Structure 1
C-alpha cells in the first residue's frame, strides 16, 4: 500500500501552490518523493514567507498570474511531461462585491476561466505522461453561498468541468478529478475563522466538529493522483467533515 503512494520520479505542478491548500498539497507530494513546482502571483517565493504561512522547502517556484489568460501556455511550454497537475487557484470578493460586474468578472476569471486555460495549456504535457489533473473547487459549488454568487457559480462550474474533461480526456489516458474542501483556515476564509462567533456557528454545522486542514485536502489529492484511484475519473471528492450533510 505504501508503494502506491510513492511518487518518486513524478513531476507535479501545483497552480496556486504558494499558500493555503495548494501549499499543503505541494508539500505532501514533495514528502512522497515527487519533484514539485508551485506557482503564485508574487515575483519570488520569499515574498510569501512573511505574509503567509507558506513552506517552500524542496519546492520549485514560478510566478504565474492566471488572470492573464495567456501565461499558462508559456509556463507549460517551458516544461517537459507533467505527471500530475493540481489546480488550486482561487479568489473571493466579500462585502457583496461579487454582485457588481467587476467583482463578478474577477472571480469568474480566476476561479473558472483560468481552470480551463490551465487545462488547455497543460493538455499535451499530461498526454505525454498519461497523467492526471485534480481541480480544487469548494463545497460552495454544491450549495447556496448567499453573499458570493460568483464564487459559488465558479465552483459549480469547476465541478461540471471536471465531469466534462474527465469524459473528454479519458481517451488521451488522462484522468481528471476534483476536490471540494469544506471550511479550511486560509486567507480566503479568515472572515469566518478569525471571528469567534462566526467560527463557533460554523463548527456547529460540521458533524466532525472541527475545521479541515490543508493536510486533509492533501490526503485526497494523493489518493486521486495515485494508482489507488486508477478507475476514478470525472469525480469531485467532497472533503468537508460532513458539512454538506446538514
Structure 2
C-alpha cells in the first residue's frame, strides 16, 4: 500500500498550462515528489518564456486547448495518466464586454478545461486517477472589469462538481483549487501600483500575496492517497481573503469614481446575519447612514437589541412558535 502522502511508483501527471507561473510550480512539485510530468504551453513562444526549467522527468509540449483535434491527438499519446491538472487560463480586463473576447475567455478557461477532461477520461479511468481544475476566488467573488473570467471560473467550479458525480463510478476523482491573489505574470501590471498591492495584502489573514508554490501543495495533496475520499470539492487557497467581509471593503475590485458617494452593502457571511430580507435591508440602510461596518454577530446583536426587536418578534416564525408554546403551557 502506498504511503498516504506520497505518489505511487510510475506516477505521471499532465499539467495543462504548465508553462505559466502556477502551472510551473505545480509541475516542479510533482517532479520533486518523483513523478514524471508532461506540461503544456499554448505555443512555442509561450514555452520559451516559461520559468519552468528543463529537468529529468519533465517534458514541455505546445498545445492549443481550443483545438479539439489537437487535444484529442495529445491525449492519445499518453498510455498512463494518474493526474490531470487544468491550469490554462486567460483574462482581458475591460475588454471582456466585447462578445468576441468574452467567448474567447470562456473557450480557454471553461470549454478548454472540459475538452481536456473528456480527452483524458479513458486514461484516467485506467489509472483511477485524479483531475484538479484551477478555479479562482472570482468564481464566487466577482470583479466588475472581468465578467468573462468570473463567469468561466464559476463554470469551472460547477463543472468540477458535475464531473465528480458523473465519473465517481469509474474511479476518477475531480476536485478544484481556487487561488486568491497570487503573484503571477497575469497581474504584474496591477502589482506595480504599490498602494494597490499593499491594500490587497492587508485584506488577507497573512498580510501578503500568495506565491505559485502555495497553490502547488494543495494540488499535489488532491492527487495523493490521503485524499482518496475527496471529490467534488473546491479548496480555497487565498490566505483567508474570501473569509473577510466584503462589507468592509466597498471599493473591492472597483476603480475610484470622482464625486461618487460610496454605498455600503452586505455580501456573503454579512448578508446571512439577518434571518429575513427586510431586516437585512433595514439594517443595511441604518449602518450605511452611520458609515460603519460590523461583524455578523455584532450586527445581529445590535439589531435584536434595537428597533429590529419588534420586527423580529413579528416576522420570525421561530419566535412565533416559542410564543405559542409558552401560551399553551400557561
Question: How many angstroms apart in 2 are the aligned matches of 1:2 and 1:197?
Answer: 46
Deviations 1:11-40 (A, max 9, x none): 110000012101100000000000100000
Q: 8 Å contact 1:175–1:232 — kept in the other structure?
A: yes
2:219 is equivalent to residue 221 of structure 1: yes
Aligned to 1:196: 194
What SS does structure 1 have at the residue aligned with 2:186? Answer: coil
Structure 1 residues 120 and 6: alpha-carbon distance in aligned structure 2, compared to 1, 3 A threshold: closer
Aligned to 2:125: 127
Q: 8 Å contact 1:15–1:40 — kept in the other structure?
A: yes
Q: Note the C-alpha offset of 1:82.
A: 0.5
- Structure 2 gap ranges (5+): 245-330
Q: Once superposed, which parts of structure 1, at least 4 consecutive aligned residues long, lie more than 3 Å away?
A: none
Aligned to 2:159: 161
Taking the TM superposition and a 5 Å limit, the aligned residue runs for 1:1-246 are 4-43=5-44, 47-48=48-49, 52-58=50-56, 59-94=58-93, 96-246=94-244
RMSD of aligned C-alpha atoms? 1.6
Question: How many angstroms apart in 1 are the aligned matches of 2:53 and 2:228?
Answer: 30
Q: 8 Å contact 2:41–2:47 — kept in the other structure?
A: no
Question: How many angstroms apart in 1 are the aligned matches of 2:69 and 2:125?
Answer: 20
Q: Note the C-alpha offset of 1:45.
A: 7.5
Q: Note the C-alpha offset of 1:7.
A: 4.3
Q: Note the C-alpha offset of 1:44.
A: 6.9
Question: How many angstroms apart in 1 are the aligned matches of 2:236 and 2:53?
Answer: 25
Q: Note the C-alpha offset of 1:46.
A: 5.9
Question: How many angstroms apart in 1 are the aligned matches of 2:45 and 2:133?
Answer: 24
Deviations 1:38-94 (A, max 9, x none): 00012277612xxx4333323101110112233211100111120111001000001
Q: 8 Å contact 1:5–1:222 — kept in the other structure?
A: no
What SS does structure 1 have at the residue aligned with 2:131? Answer: strand
State how many pairs are aligned: 242
Question: How many angstroms apart in 2 are the aligned matches of 1:241 and 1:107?
Answer: 26
Question: How many angstroms apart in 1 are the aligned matches of 2:216 and 2:124?
Answer: 20
What SS does structure 2 have at the residue aligned with 1:28? Answer: helix
- Structure 1 gap ranges (5+): none
Worse-superposed segment, 3-12 or 24-33: 3-12
Structure 1 residues 199 and 7: alpha-carbon distance in aligned structure 2, compared to 1, 3 A threshold: farther
Q: 8 Å contact 2:138–2:154 — kept in the other structure?
A: yes
Worse-superposed segment, 83-92 or 205-214: 205-214
**Higher relative contact order, chain-length normalized (CA < 8 Å, sep 6+):** 1
- What TM-score results when the alignment is normalised by the length of structure 1? 0.94
Structure 1 residues 114 and 142: alpha-carbon distance in aligned structure 2, compared to 1, 3 A threshold: same
Structure 1 residues 77 and 239: alpha-carbon distance in aligned structure 2, compared to 1, 3 A threshold: same
